[in-house]
Structure 1
Amino acid sequence: MGYFVTVETGVNLYVEDINPKGSKTIVFLHGWPLNHKQFEYQFDILPARGYRCVGIDWRGFGKSDKPIDGYNYNRLADDIRTIVGALQLENFTLVGHSTGGAIAIRYMSRYKGYGVGKLVLVDAAAPTGFTTETAKQLLKETLHDRPKMIQGVTDQFFFQYITGPFSEWFFQMGLEAAGWSTASVIELLRDETLETDLTKINTPTLLIHGIHDKVIPFAQAKELHQKIKNSQLVPFQYSGHGPFWEEHDKFNQLLIQFS
Structure 2
Amino acid sequence: MPIVTTTDGVDLYVRDWGQGRPVVLIHGWPLNADSWEHQALGLAEAGFRVISYDRRGFGRSGQPWGGYDYDTMSDDLAAVISTLGLSDAAIAGFSMGGGEVARYMSRHEGKGVAQAALISSIAPYMLQTDDHDGVPEDVFAGMKEGLRKDRAAFLQDFFKDFYGQGTGAGGVSEAVLHWTWSMAMMASPKATLDCVDAFGKTDLRDDMGAFDVPTLVIHGTDDQTVPIDSAGRAAAKAVKGATLKEYAGAPHGLTATEPDRVTQDLLDFLRG
Q: TM-score with structure 1 length normalisation?
A: 0.95
Moved more, 160-169 or 100-109: 160-169
For the pair 1:133 / 2:130, whether they are aligned, the reply is no
1:151–1:171 contact (8 Å) kept in structure 2 = yes
Task: Pick from 11, 27, 33 the counterpart of residue 30 of structure 2.
Answer: 33
For the pair 1:196 / 2:206, whether they are aligned, the reply is yes
Shift of 1:9: 4.5
| Aligned twin of 1:4 | 3
Q: Which amino acid aligns with 1:25?
A: P
Q: Which amino acid aligns with 1:127?
A: P
Give the distance between the partners of 2:206 and 2:38, measured in 1 at CA: 33
Listed as ranges, the gaps of 5+ residues in structure 2 are 128-135, 165-169
Shift of 1:32: 0.5
Give the distance between the partners of 1:115 and 1:200, measured in 2 at CA: 14
Give the distance between the partners of 1:28 and 1:189, measured in 2 at CA: 17
Give the distance between the partners of 1:109 and 1:47, measured in 2 at CA: 28
Mapping of residues 1-259 of structure 1, within 5 Å? 2-19=1-18, 22-129=19-126, 131-159=136-164, 160-219=170-229, 220-259=231-270
Q: Which amino acid aligns with 1:158?
A: Y
Give the distance between the partners of 1:10 and 1:112, measured in 2 at CA: 23
CA deviation string 1:147-178 (max 9, x = no partner): 11211221111132222111101111110101
Give the distance between the partners of 2:256 and 2:198, measured in 1 at CA: 26
Over the aligned positions, Cα root-mean-square deviation in angstroms equals 1.2
Moved more, 55-64 or 126-135: 126-135
Q: Which amino acid aligns with 1:188?
A: A
Kindly report structure 1 stretches of 4+ aligned residues shifted beyond 2 Å: none
Give the distance between the partners of 1:6 and 1:194, measured in 2 at CA: 26
Give the distance between the partners of 1:43 and 1:161, measured in 2 at CA: 21
2:43–2:263 contact (8 Å) kept in structure 1 = yes
Aligned length: 256
Moved more, 35-44 or 89-98: 35-44
Q: Which amino acid aligns with 1:163?
A: S
SS at match of 1:26: strand
Give the distance between the partners of 1:138 and 1:145, measured in 2 at CA: 11
2:99–2:199 contact (8 Å) kept in structure 1 = no
SS at match of 1:5: strand
Give the distance between the partners of 1:207 and 1:190, measured in 2 at CA: 19
SS at match of 2:5: strand
Shift of 1:238: 4.6
CA deviation string 1:176-229 (max 9, x = no partner): 101000000012233321011111211110000011100011112111111111
CA deviation string 1:113-161 (max 9, x = no partner): 1111100000111222353111111111111210112112211111322
Q: Which amino acid aligns with 1:165?
A: A
Q: Which amino acid aligns with 2:150?
A: D
Amino-acid identity (%)? 30
1:238–1:246 contact (8 Å) kept in structure 2 = no
2:11–2:62 contact (8 Å) kept in structure 1 = yes
Give the distance between the partners of 1:189 and 1:145, measured in 2 at CA: 21
Q: Which amino acid aligns with 2:16?
A: D
Moved more, 215-224 or 27-36: 215-224
Q: Which amino acid aligns with 1:213?
A: D
1:202–1:230 contact (8 Å) kept in structure 2 = no
Give the distance between the partners of 1:62 and 1:117, measured in 2 at CA: 28
